[in-house]
Amino acid sequence: MSRSYILCVDDEKSVLSSLKHELSRNLDKKCRFEVAESGEEGLKILGDILKAGYDVPLVISDQLMPGMKGDQFLIQVNQLDERIRKIMLTGQADATAVGNALNHANLFRFISKPWNPDDLKLTVEKALSSYYLEQSLDRKVQTLTLINRYAELLAGNLDLHNWLHTLTTNLLQNLDITHCLVQLFPESKPGEKLVFHTYQNGNSSPVLYELDAESLAARYPLSVLAHVREACELVYEPNLLNSDWSEDPVLEQHQIRTVCCLPLKANNRLQGILYLDSRLRAKSINEDQLELLEAVSRQASLALESIFLYHSLEQKVAQRTEDIREDHSRMSESIEVGSRLQTSVLPKIDDLRSVFPNSFIIYRPRDVLSGDFFWFGQSQGLYFIVSSDCTGHGVPGALLSIIGINLLNQIIKVQGLTQPAAILEELDRQFSASVTRTDSGAIKKEGMDLSLCAIDTQNRRFTYAGARQPMIYVENDQALTLKPTKRSINSDTQIPFEEVEVNYQPASSIYLFSDGLVDQFDSKNSKKFTIKRLEELLVLASKQSMLLREGTIRNRLDVWRGQTPQTDDQLLIGIQLD
């Protein structure tokens, strides 16, 4: 944790002295203290601390001070850094001042003078705890976002050199390291070792080189590489001067101070080694970055397995999907982090509107996390829209939605399938291989219903296929519900998926939705909304602009539900086909 400061502001020196003494006695030297006798002085001190790169988790301020009042001071503190926790400590603040601080300064707590020492201690501890928890969650979200980015970059690379360049270049750009080495052990050529390295060289872009055995021994610590290969375990030394490896001649010769070396392992087979170091600087890889590297090594291992076993693409997808699911389960320490992660992988409405300006998405999870998801992508001149409802909601449904999104990316963008029925068949096969069997051998029936529409804007035609999820097409004040195949993804039913092709007219609209919307009960008669009511609503709203249409639909759904609890995740995608 970096050095942290608590800033106390009061125009009475005796109060500042007493406050500093009280806090320093209880906080066990976790934070340093700065004091100021006015709001103006406090802002200058705060600015200097933040400019120097230090944390300020807490500011405590009196209200009645000459010049700038406490509430105005705290408002300006909030403008400098809204993460700072702010406490107003005064005996004469009126309700207006407190309300102003609550509304505009994000006030954490108001404490009256003279304060109760126990109350003050507990309040400060809670403020600091919430500040550091928020920092931890932010770091976790950043790590998860990078992991998703690496997974997407590595998944589509089936060429060895492209894969190596993508991996090493991105690691060098995102971490404070100077050298990156990948040593590979291809199963198809026992005894052959492929070694590649790249390094930072000023402002120039990293270049990938292939090394022979002699060059490898001269540049890199063979003792570390041999240990990782034999023990198949991580070697992480943030400061080699204080480690058992410090006597390695290569480490000493090149002044290597930080080393991180990870095994690349998939399906119980060591496929390679990923080595990174920093020369001349210790502790250049911190604990958060180590967590990122461990996750990236798992993603890299799966991609490498695909390269070594090119003919076994099905095994690669199933294993990678399972590993991604396990990674997300382990790293989602709270529902809040999980929600941020799920939001980060869903398409943005701006992406959809960049192609279909007159469109909207109504997305209403029942809980913080959702089992419904939507997907949008382009491949081979077609635009693909997907609405899906996974088994369950909350955490289980959200995890299944991430698997579904990854599989759709793989099937449509990587494998290049374009026919909706064929896409659903492939999705069923890969999804079943991913989730139907646990480690103990027990069968689990997790699945999803979805509708998929492939739009050919050039020829004004779309093709629809559904797995127990219909789609509504509105044209000339008439609504047509396209029926799905009565088969879910990962079910025992083997009915072939069917598709419907429609030549659409300008200004017509399509709507994809989950059953949580039409199955919602009303607040009076416990009746479901039903597809028929949805058809009537969409026809009624079809004469409005898309912006007004979305508002009309949202309002009708809200009035229908009233005070009745939402029974399931809800999703509705509307697109006007111009």
Q: Does 337 have pLDDT greater than 70?
A: no
pLDDT tier, 194 (very low <50, low <70, confident <90, very high otherwise): low
Q: How far is CA 170 from CA 181, 362, 447, 481, 514, in A?
A: 13, 36, 35, 47, 38
pLDDT tier, 442 (very low <50, low <70, confident <90, very high otherwise): very low
Which of 36-50, 161-175, 212-226, 369-383 bottoms out in mean pLDDT, i.e. has the lowest? 161-175
Q: What is the pLDDT of residues 102-122, one digit of tens each?
A: 888 888 888 888 888 888 888
Which among 25, 56, 27, 30 has a CA at the least distance from the CA of 43?
56
What is the residue-averaged pLDDT of the chain? 83
- What is the arithmetic mean of pLDDT over 429-457? 79
pLDDT of residue 389: 92
pLDDT above 90 as % of the chain: 34
Q: Does 188 have pLDDT greater than 80?
A: no
pTM: 0.45
pLDDT of residue 374: 93
pLDDT of residue 315: 47
Q: How many residues does the chain have?
A: 578
Q: What is the pLDDT of residues 52-61, one digit of tens each?
A: 888 899 999 8
Which of 16-20, 105-109, 208-212, 353-357 bottoms out in mean pLDDT, i.e. has the lowest? 208-212
Q: Does 203 have pLDDT greater than 60?
A: no
pLDDT of residue 150: 62
pLDDT of residue 327: 54
pLDDT above 70 as % of the chain: 83
| Residue that wins the pLDDT comparison between 146 and 399 | 399
Q: What is the pLDDT of residues 531-548, one digit of tens each?
A: 999 999 999 999 899 889
Report for 151-155, 194-198, 254-258, 279-283: range of highest mean pLDDT: 254-258
Cα–Cα dist 520/243, whole Å:
62
Contacts of 504 (CB under 8 A, 6+ apart): 460, 461, 462, 473, 475, 510, 577
| Residue that wins the pLDDT comparison between 28 and 468 | 468
| Residue that wins the pLDDT comparison between 328 and 389 | 389
pLDDT of residue 96: 80
Cα–Cα dist 462/474, whole Å:
13
- What is the arithmetic mean of pLDDT over 181-210? 66
Cα–Cα dist 78/82, whole Å:
4
- What is the arithmetic mean of pLDDT over 425-436? 88
Which of helix, strand or coil describes residue 401?
helix
Q: Tell me if 60 sits within 8 A of 7, measured CB to CB.
A: yes
Long-range contacts, stretch 156-163, CB < 8 angstroms, 24+ apart? 156/413, 156/414, 157/303, 157/307, 158/306, 158/307, 158/310, 159/307, 160/307, 161/208, 163/303, 163/304, 163/307
pLDDT of residue 310: 56
Query: Which domains are seen in the chain, by residue range?
Result: 4-115 (3.40.50.2300), 140-327 (3.30.450.40), 346-577 (3.60.40.10)
Cα–Cα dist 361/385, whole Å:
11
pLDDT of residue 451: 97
pLDDT of residue 136: 73
- What is the arithmetic mean of pLDDT over 367-390? 91
In the block, residue with structure tokens 């090394």: 211
431: left (phi over 0), alpha (psi -120 to 50) or beta: alpha
- What is the arithmetic mean of pLDDT over 364-387? 90
DSSP 232-270: ---EEES-GGGSTTTT-HHHHHTTEEEEEEEEEEETTEE
pLDDT of residue 483: 96
Q: What is the 3-state secondary structure (H, E, C) of 368-384?
A: CCCCEEEEEEEECCEEE
Q: Tell me if 161 sits within 8 A of 209, measured CB to CB.
A: no
pLDDT of residue 1: 42
| Sheet bearing 570-577, strands edge to edge | 359-364, 570-577, 508-513, 471-475, 478-482
